[in-house]
Structure 1
Amino acid sequence: MAHLDTAPLHSTPPGETTGEGRPEHAPEDHPAVRSARVGVLIANLGTPDNTDYWSVRRYLSEFLSDQRVVDYPRWLWQPLLQLVILSRRPFISGEAYRSVWNREQNESPLLTTTRQQANKLAATLESRFGEGVAVAYGMRYGNPSTDSAVRELQARGCQRILFFPLYPQYASPTTATACDQFFRSLMKLKWQPAARTVPAYFEHESYMRALAASVRDALGENGLDDEGLGDNQPVAKDAAPSVLVASYHGVPKRFLRDGDPYYCQCCKTSRLLAEALGLDEQRLVTTFQSKFGPEEWVGPATVDKVAELARAGHRHIAVLSPAFATDCVETLEEIQQEIRDSFMAAGGERFTYIPCLNDRDDHITALADIAAGELAGWL
């Protein structure tokens, strides 16, 4: 687990640091304890430990057994999941993970990038607040677990923890289940740290600035234009895309009816991004991906919409995924392979994927700004 091991926050005079020692006024035989610190725990979705059948099956079983993700009655869902879905799905998902796997470090890109985010965030917070903050990262599913991250921070003397789910928009199957797991971890501790959680941050100025900058960086000075729309000439190599597609992970439509704000927050993210880029609603299209199961999901579906755009004459489009803070199998494989193939098969000629914010410096600045706001009164 990547972390920044820091010195005490308020227990020593300025310019002095202490890692651990006997508490003031304690007997001489009192065991050494670490000085009090503030912890920031960033949390991501998770990853299998490897791409083989059993590693992927363990991961999918944990993920799909979460009733925040699939909320069907357990007596109905578990036999179907364990006996039918998990007999086949690990082969398919394993192939998808292998296509994007970080072979150099033998781990998923999500794990690699989350570690980089934690390291950079630790350095940024240290530059702002001195050696008073410890940063760690954990996963809702798989390793390193949320439980191990909480215990690590507590072992390093953190008596206060800010839990930071890396989901710009709130959703029950992402933010809520991550927070559930965090509080379950606290339930196991004899001495619980004080705790805060970071709310949805899609409206935060620093986040939106970074998101808009990532689009400008990817598209260059030309931005969007009408090249490749309305005639039958091949699209020029340097032609800019004519449409920007914001593809979000989908949820069942009944989640919206039941009060989950995710769909509305996604739509507002797109509107704020369009305003930041100076685009009208025809130039930035909101779609949803990763449909699972038979029920109706929010839409339109990305895989269908990109084909529709190609048939309408858009030969070059750009796609980004604002619901993900970190590139993962849903972006590196689903968008760049399945969704791209759908666009090209329908007549599209060029497909530009705009990466997630990952460990961009402006993204780390945004995360630090958000964390600093939530740490008010603790630092």
Structure 2
Amino acid sequence: MSFRSPFAIPRQLLTGTISLGGRSAISSRLRHNQRGLATVVPPVTQDATGSKGPTAMVFMNMGGPSTTDEVEDFLSRLFADGDLIPLGRLQSYIGPLIARRRTSKIQKQYADIGGGSPIRKWSEYQCAEMCKLLDKMSPETAPHKPYVAFRYAAPLTETMYEQLFADGFGKGKGGRAVAFTQYPQYSCSTTGSSLNELWKWRNRLEGKRANGGSEPAGAIQWSVIDRWPSHCGLVEAFAQNIEAQLKTYPEEKRDEVVLLFSAHSLPMSVVNRGDPYPAEVAATVHAVMQRLKFKNPYRLCWQSQVGPSAWLGAQTSDTVQEYVKRGQTDLVLVPIAFTSDHIETLYELDQEVIHEANNPGVKRAESLNGNPVFIQALADIAHDHLQKGELCSRQMTLRCQGCTSERCLGQKKFFAGQEHASMVI
């Protein structure tokens, strides 16, 4: 599960009709044992290839269970997180109860679509391929070592951190690591949550900074790529996938196809608090449409609304149904906030929205997955970050206007570094 229902229980979890997984057929080079672990990274020394290397590149995402056997553990972690799904003082009791009650139905959905989520395999593949490019692009920070850290499924953040130790980072040896969010558009519920988790385990496993801001001797030096909503490579990858899908329509109708960019919604209480996610998603959409020269009509809509409270709309499912009723049956759905296939693409869009539209003109653009243009974009983003030597973006130093979380404040001060911690407000 790459995203997301960070602030409420997903509609499918409440109804027992969810599928948190992936297609049964993906690229043959990714087909391996569902229980297989990430490629073992050999130990490194801090004076290895380059003057500033080696560098650990850590892809952060929410994750998803790779097999049906992992579903209950995944749900237990998800429902235990009060930041993601606030259940009040009884969280530790209610969370596991909900997880157990939903497990069997969700496992069945996994079985129906191939038995597990592809997000781990895509994440490991994307990160490994990016690191190969970085070794050539930035030899002074090489070798670049690929890692994946998920919030609710293996490999968990703490597991990744222990692997860093085993591979020669930290524990008195120092070394550099880059936390690279795989959510292009920043939200407190996704990137913010992953960074909170990373900060927590960093403090537990390596010790807190001293009052003067100094690091424990030999601790890992972290920096963060915290958002990249309008990067030219990301935009190009989306645009090419859209163009490929548009070519499946008759040429005379092609420019009349409506593009529906779909991203996970947020409760209006979160939006009103100042979360930057809606604006950054809109920035991605506008950049993609500029690349496409605004040839097609388009709209941004939002999926996965949950419960009776107000959410950011219009909803993707309602939008598709309404346009089909009006006679506009040529529609291309574009998962604009996701970097690989997962629940919102493979189940909600493919098996619910498109199926319920019941019209051959309603289609979906491919997800980014192993797209070489996208992987090059990842390498370009990482290379730029390494060359600049920045710890995080300037946007990272601002909390949401209505934020009162001391944990968020502490996490941002940590990743901003001693020089810029005073800027975090």
TM-score class, shorter-chain normalisation, is 0.7 to 0.9
Matched, 1:220 2:247: yes
Q: Which moved more, 1:60-69 or 1:200-209?
A: 60-69
Report the AA paired with residue 204 of structure 1. H
For each residue in 1:65-110, what CA deviation from the matched residue of structure 2 results, as whole angstroms up to 9, or x when unmatched? 22332235233x5554444x33542233323322333x6xxx5211
Matched, 1:297 2:299: no
1:95–1:297 distance in 2 versus 1, CA, 3 Å? farther
Aligned partner of residue 67 in structure 2, secondary structure: coil
Report the AA paired with residue 62 of structure 2. L
Aligned partner of residue 151 in structure 2, secondary structure: strand
Q: Structure 1: how far apart are the matches of 2:155 and 2:99?
A: 23
Report the AA paired with residue 129 of structure 1. S
Aligned with residue 69 of structure 1, among 65, 84, 88:
84
Following superposition, the deviation at residue 279 of structure 1 comes to 2.1
Q: Structure 2: how far apart are the matches of 1:269 and 1:240?
A: 21
For each residue in 1:107-137, what CA deviation from the matched residue of structure 2 results, as whole angstroms up to 9, or x when unmatched? 5211221121122112111222344221211
CA contact (8 A) 1:68 1:172 kept: no
1:296–1:200 distance in 2 versus 1, CA, 3 Å? same
Partner of 2:236: 209
1:363–1:182 distance in 2 versus 1, CA, 3 Å? same
Equivalence map 1:1-379=2 (5 Å): 1-2=38-39, 5=42, 10=47, 37-52=54-69, 55-75=70-90, 77=91, 79-83=93-97, 85-101=98-114, 107-130=116-139, 131-158=142-169, 159-190=175-206, 191-220=218-247, 227=253, 242-279=257-294, 283-344=297-358, 348-376=359-387
What is the number of equivalent residue pairs in this alignment? 335
Aligned partner of residue 142 in structure 1, secondary structure: coil
Following superposition, the deviation at residue 202 of structure 1 comes to 0.7
| Gap regions ≥5 residues in structure 1 | 15-34, 228-238
Q: Which has the higher strand share?
A: 1
Following superposition, the deviation at residue 291 of structure 1 comes to 2.0
Following superposition, the deviation at residue 5 of structure 1 comes to 4.4
Following superposition, the deviation at residue 268 of structure 1 comes to 2.1
Q: Structure 2: how far apart are the matches of 1:189 and 1:357?
A: 34
Q: Structure 2: how far apart are the matches of 1:223 and 1:362?
A: 26
Q: Structure 2: how far apart are the matches of 1:11 and 1:50?
A: 37
TM-score, normalised by the number of residues in structure 2: 0.72
Q: Which has the higher helix share?
A: 2
CA contact (8 A) 1:8 1:132 kept: no
CA contact (8 A) 1:45 1:139 kept: yes
Aligned partner of residue 294 in structure 1, secondary structure: coil
1:322–1:132 distance in 2 versus 1, CA, 3 Å? same
Q: Structure 1: how far apart are the matches of 2:66 and 2:276?
A: 32
CA contact (8 A) 1:252 1:298 kept: yes
Q: Structure 2: how far apart are the matches of 1:91 and 1:304?
A: 29
CA contact (8 A) 1:270 1:284 kept: no
Report the AA paired with residue 132 of structure 2. A
Aligned partner of residue 288 in structure 1, secondary structure: strand
Q: Structure 1: how far apart are the matches of 2:305 and 2:108?
A: 19
Following superposition, the deviation at residue 64 of structure 1 comes to 2.6
Following superposition, the deviation at residue 7 of structure 1 comes to 5.9
CA contact (8 A) 2:80 2:96 kept: no
Report the AA paired with residue 126 of structure 1. D
TM-score, normalised by the number of residues in structure 1: 0.80
CA contact (8 A) 2:44 2:167 kept: no
CA contact (8 A) 1:3 1:135 kept: no
Same amino acid, percent of matched pairs: 24
Partner of 1:21: none
**Structure (1 or 2) with the larger CA radius of gyration:** 1
